[in-house]
Amino acid sequence: MPANFNPVYGDTKIPQSLVLKSWAKKTWQAGIKESYFSKFMGRDAKSIIHVKEELSRGRGTTINIPLLMPLFGAGVIGDNILEGKEEALVYRDFEVPLNQVRHAVRLEGRFEEQKTQQTMREDARSGLSEWLATYLDLSIFGIATGVTPSFIKNPATDTFPFTLDPPTADRILYAGSATAENAITTSDKFDTSLIGKAKRLARADENTAIRPIRVNGAEHYVMVIDQWQARDLKDDQRWIEAQESANIRGEKNPIFSGAIGMWDGVVIHESNRVPRTATGASNAMVGHALFLGAQAIVFAEGEAPRWVEKNFDYDNKYGVSIGRMFGLKKAQFKFDGTNWTDFGVINVLTSSAED
């Protein structure tokens, strides 16, 4: 024992800094869990939202996602000479940049609140957790559709930290006979025929085909539609008849959780956070439904969440904040070396007329 060792007697307490770090992690996880898209997240290439964690363990602000293109050479037959006819491997790639997102709660004052510190923390945790889940959902919907999230109230002062790429021309489908978003009318409703068209479009080109999610040996895609699109779908007689034998009840895979049904191997989900815009003919409401396959979105994790408490005005006012570094990006590649193609998502635009 060192000669200058001076033991300190008393009860052992967790240092406050460690308590706050643990709390920050729980807050972030709660937000993820409450997010609509949490059931589609995974750390492998079979997930709709692929979580990449390389930057959570080291420095850096960008993850580069490579794609190895298929080989197209004819090879040689018999004893024909192969040397000199080798084919080069071709890679495409896209980058997912990280950014920092923060939010905070500040209480009015001790007299106004008349709450203990622990109550304040629980209220702050609950509020920030709900905010985080909403922020993630609206961000993912925005990134997948190219529509600015609704929490951006004023583009001049509110900033969105991620890239909003519009749907690529080869990954967009319009209802009815419409060939553009501004041509969609209230008659261009969502129905089973659109689900089939989206699936055929996803599989049309074997080189750029959207990969399905495999569940118990079967291949599935996912579609997320708004409540008015769901209303129109439920009026489709073919949908009504199919749901009597759809047989998705009891499936434990997350992609079936909360689904309203299935058509032709496509699991249909409904969300009131699907973007709707007054961009159709005569300002008709347009629903931006999403047809999703594997690795449609990349979620890049940065360093662990950071929780900060702060006192103001001689400790009369109290504030708390949560911050996290992460990145979100729609997966895109230049398959032909020139033009971007959305890797795992098709935008399906239809009427979203209210009742």
pLDDT of residue 16: 63
Q: CB within 8 A of 28, min separation 6: which ones?
A: 132, 305, 322, 324
Start and end residues for every CATH 3.30.2320.10 domain found in the chain: 169-294+341-351
Query: Which region, left, alpha or beta, applies to residue 227 given φ > 0 means left and ψ of -120 to 50 means alpha?
Result: alpha
Phi and psi at residue 67, to the nearest 5°:
-135, 125
Q: What is the pLDDT of residue 9?
A: 56
Q: Which residue has the tokens 């939010």?
A: 103
Q: What is the pTM of this model?
A: 0.88
The pLDDT of residue 305 is 82
pLDDT tens string 138-173:
999 999 999 999 999 988 889 999 999 999 999 999
d(CA 65, CA 19): 36
Cα distances (Å, whole numbers) of residue 255 to 1, 139, 215, 292: 59, 20, 9, 11
One of 3.30.2320.10, 3.40.50.970, 3.40.50.20, 3.40.190.10 is the CATH number of 169-294+341-351, namely 3.30.2320.10
* Residues 6 or more apart in contact with residue 123 via CB below 8 angstroms: 105, 115
What pLDDT shows up at residue 296?
A: 96
Which architecture does CATH list for 16-70+90-155+299-333? 2-Layer Sandwich (3.30)
pLDDT of res. 5: 55
Of 130, 132, 131, 115, the C-alpha closest to 318 is: 115
Q: Which residues contact 254 (CB under 8 A, 6 or more apart)?
A: 39, 40
Q: Is the dihedral of CA 20, 25, 28, 31 positive or negative?
A: negative
Would you say 223 and 348 are in contact if contact means Cβ atoms under 8 Å apart?
yes
- Note the helical H segments in the chain: 16-34, 110-113, 117-145, 192-203, 227-234, 237-243
Q: What angle do CA 165, 171, 176 make, to 5 degrees?
A: 120
Residue type, 282: S
**Which residues of the chain register pLDDT less than 50?**
none
Collapsed DSSP state (helix, strand, coil) of residue 302: coil
Where do the CATH 3.30.2400 domains begin and end in the chain?
Answer: 16-70+90-155+299-333
